[in-house]
Amino acid sequence: MEMAEEPVNDLVALGLARYEARVYLALVRRESYTAAEVARAADVPRQRVYDVLDGLVRRRLATAHPGRVATFSAVAPELAVARLMALQRETLERLDRVSAALTAALVPVWADGRTQTVPLDYVEILRDPKSIAEAFADIQVQARHELLSFCKPPFVAPALNTPGIKAVRRLRRSGGSVRAIYTHDALSDADVLENVRRFAAAGEESRFAELLPLKLVVADASLVLCDMPDPVAGTGATTALYIEHPALAACLRLAFLTVWEHAETVPAARPPEG
């Protein structure tokens, strides 16, 4: 039997499963049906129809008539719909009580959470070289007034470091300061020395030191990116820390300025031999 979908959907909206809705709508068409008959009429699998009928009887939407072959009939539609509405109201009232209790329990926790901070939530730990390179690019972009760097190999940025050159030019145009200290190793590396000269042409002030304790970038005395070489795993393993902490950044800035005072200025280019 072809069955319109609109009343099926309406009964589903009132809380019936789709098979239950189809069986109830089939039952209202006749005084009674056997299970097999209503399964055919409702186009419901026969192996499922017994559970569906039991569910309708439990909800008092259908009546079972015992006999040699049991039959089933629908209760009056107005009564069935009223019972479904009553069940929906009970469900809504229960949900209303649950939601009120849940709100009462969670609001104080939420309010307390606004005053809490996660310990060290200002520290980001980076171990992947790609993430470290991205953080290096980011701190250069973030700088607005001052950028200070301890530069020592291995370098995570690309050799050209175009974002770094742009950051230096931007800072210098706005009256900012960009200073970097390189190790003496840079003097014997033609590529690194050429990069130093490119940054100097963009406006970076640079000096050289025999040793630097670690790689370090301090931006605006508030942001810090530094590496922490693993003393156990060796020089090949490192962890970088990206820290937003003005007090720490101010201390590291003082450390930078101390090394800067004792570092050598960039040596003049050596004349070609011969």
User: pLDDT digits over 230-252, tens only?
Assistant: 665 555 567 899 999 999 999 99
What does the alpha-carbon distance between residue 92 and residue 98 come to, in Å, rounded to a whole number?
10
What's residue 91's pLDDT? 87
Average pLDDT, the chain: 86
DSSP string for residues in 82-117: HHHHHHHHHHHHHHHHHHHHHHHHHHHHHHHHTT--
What's residue 163's pLDDT? 84
What's residue 109's pLDDT? 80
pLDDT higher than 50, residue 273: no
β-strand partners of 62: 74
**DSSP β-ladder status, 177-183 and 205-209:** parallel
Phi and psi torsions of 13, nearest 5°: -65, -25
pLDDT higher than 90, residue 107: no
What sign has the CA pseudo-torsion 144, 149, 154, 158? positive
What does the alpha-carbon distance between residue 118 and residue 78 come to, in Å, rounded to a whole number?
58
Mapped onto helix, strand or coil, the DSSP state of residue 65 is strand
pLDDT mean over 158-162: 70
Query: What share of the chain in percent tops pLDDT 70?
Result: 88
Question: What secondary structure letter does DSSP report for 31?
Answer: S
∠172-176-180 over CA atoms, to 5°?
A: 80
| CB-CB contact of 204 with 168 (8 Å) | yes
> 56 or 129: whose pLDDT is higher?
56
What's residue 42's pLDDT? 93
- How sure is the predictor about 73, in pLDDT bands with cuts at 50, 70 and 90? very high
Q: Which two tokens stand for residue 255?
A: 């450390």
pLDDT higher than 70, residue 177: yes
pLDDT higher than 90, residue 21: yes
* 118-131 core/surface letters (b: 16 or more CB in 10 A; e: else): eeeeeeeebeeeee
* CB-CB neighbours of 105 under 10 Å: 9
What's residue 188's pLDDT? 79
What's residue 19's pLDDT? 94
| CB-CB contact of 9 with 17 (8 Å) | no
pLDDT 10s digits, 27-57: 999 999 999 999 999 999 999 999 999 999 9
What's residue 224's pLDDT? 94
**Helix (H) or strand (E) run with residue 217 in it:** strand 216-219
β-strand partners of 65: 71
pLDDT higher than 90, residue 225: yes
The overall pTM is greater than 0.85: no
